[in-house]
Structure 1
Amino acid sequence: MPVLVGLIGLAWLLAIVAELTGKVQWVHHHQLVVDDMALWFSLILFLLAWQLHIAAMMLPSALPMVGLFRQAAAGQPNPGLVQACFLGGYLVVWTLFGVLALLADTLLGASASSWHWLMHRPEWLMGGALLLAGGFQFTSLKSRCLDKCRQPRAFLLAHYRRGLGGATALGVRHGMFCVGCCWALMLVMFVVGIANLAWMAPLAALMIYEKVGRHGERVVRPAGVGLLLLGLFFILGPGWMSAPSHMH
């Protein structure tokens, strides 16, 4: 646990330092096709940036589950390796989500290049992402996934299995419910830039509090209303509310 807390702190520190020093491109990479850069190198840069993003925004809300699993796995042979398999399964799910979101973002960008009206209205893309995230806050899928994430003890009792395979499977299952809670909010980060601190901090705070906060269930729908209104403001008020600078 101290190691994970240290990794979370390091991830936020790197994001903040990169922003303050103007080197944000090293933790901000979220494009597959970049001029003068090989496709494979661009993908590697994204995967590295995405791991930092997962550590900063996703791992904090997973700490209760990690702590319970650590206690349960303490009596197994090689408990450290078992815990690594659990975390590995969790990270694989979020990494796959990131790759799929990157591909979707790339395809959308390629399509937008032929839609001149959309290229000149980036606030519509931002507004659409916020409307999607806001609407998802009211869905039964969001509620079901949040219920699983808010009750790590019950989740562990229902799905815990000994061994490396059991740990990996549990990590994958937990990661899938975590993605189920947060995928729409994380898509917003692809629109604004995955290391944009102005959006990263409040969205991370929302996702963490929804899952581990004492009154997390009470903020889900009000947050949805706020996201919907913000999306409408971006779409209907481009004159006074501009899209993030990197979208222009």
Structure 2
Amino acid sequence: AASPHRRLFPLVLASLVAFAWLTLWAWTRSPYGRYLDHGDRALTEPFSALCRALPGGALWLPAAFAAAGWTLMILAMMLPTTLSLFDAFARVVASRPDRTRLLALVGVGYVAMWSGFGLVAHALHGLLLTGVARVPALAWRGWLIGAAVFALAGAFQFSGLKTHCLDRCRTPYSFVISRWRGRAPMRHAFALGVSHGLFCVGCCWALMLLMFVVGAGSLGWML
């Protein structure tokens, strides 16, 4: 029979996912909903005034908003896909007294990897906007950028790297067994979550990047 911890953890995970969805829903319906998109927030008020008032605000404040929105989206949409990973890891560490903490660290590592990818994508998006602003030819032919990203995302779906990453995501128990050492349990649990997140990013990075181009990170396009 499943232990109380194994029965309780899916409920905790579901509660976290529900909280993320409710927060996103409330954010999109609030006066600050436009800041959830990855458009040029610095051009809107009062965001631009706040960026000017804070030291270095034009750099880190948009990144902070992007990280918050992106992390909520990851919690809402990607965290449910890790249930099989958590179940496999819970079976491996079932006899350990610190199993709850280790499960939490796996989740933190997974979300940290996706959040890091979101920040990188945000930075690339900012560089792209800067390039378009400085090169008029790009502004007039912006559709070429979207077409190139579409083509890249489509081609990647048939690549060997995509298949390799997908195989790791589809076999969570083998993944856990091959990577869990337990000699430094907290560090290894976090690293296991990061590793699994890395393979998930490897599966989905092209499609996620596509969302930055065509959907600007909006919930409608992400779904």
Query: Normalising by the residue count of structure 1, what TM-score does the alignment of the two structures yield?
Result: 0.72
Q: Which runs of 5+ in 2 are unaligned?
A: 1-9, 52-56
Specify the alignment match of 1:169 in structure 2.
Answer: 191
Specify the alignment match of 2:11 in structure 1.
Answer: 2
Amino acid in the other structure paired with 1:126: G
What does residue range 199-238 of structure 1 map to in structure 2 within 5 Å? 199-201=221-223
| Distance (whole Å) between structure 2 residues aligned to residue 190 and residue 154 of structure 1 | 33
SS across alignment from 2:194: helix
Amino acid in the other structure paired with 2:145: L
Among 178, 186, 195, the residue aligned to 2:218: 195
| Distance (whole Å) between structure 2 residues aligned to residue 114 and residue 21 of structure 1 | 33
Give the superposition deviation at 1:22.
Answer: 6.4
Moved over 6 A (4+): none
Amino acid in the other structure paired with 1:25: R
Amino acid in the other structure paired with 2:160: S
| Distance (whole Å) between structure 2 residues aligned to residue 76 and residue 169 of structure 1 | 18
Amino acid in the other structure paired with 2:67: L
Specify the alignment match of 1:184 in structure 2.
Answer: 206
How many percent identity over aligned positions? 35
| Distance (whole Å) between structure 1 residues aligned to residue 212 and residue 192 of structure 2 | 27
Give the superposition deviation at 1:177.
Answer: 0.7
- CA 1:168–1:54 in structure 2 vs 1: closer, same or farther (change >3 Å)? same
Q: Which runs of 5+ in 1 are unaligned?
A: 202-248
Give the superposition deviation at 1:183.
Answer: 0.6
Amino acid in the other structure paired with 1:194: G
- CA 1:54–1:124 in structure 2 vs 1: closer, same or farther (change >3 Å)? same
Specify the alignment match of 2:63 in structure 1.
Answer: 43
Amino acid in the other structure paired with 1:15: L
Query: Which protein has the larger Cα radius of gyration, Structure 1 or Structure 2?
Result: 2
Query: Normalising by the residue count of structure 2, what TM-score does the alignment of the two structures yield?
Result: 0.80
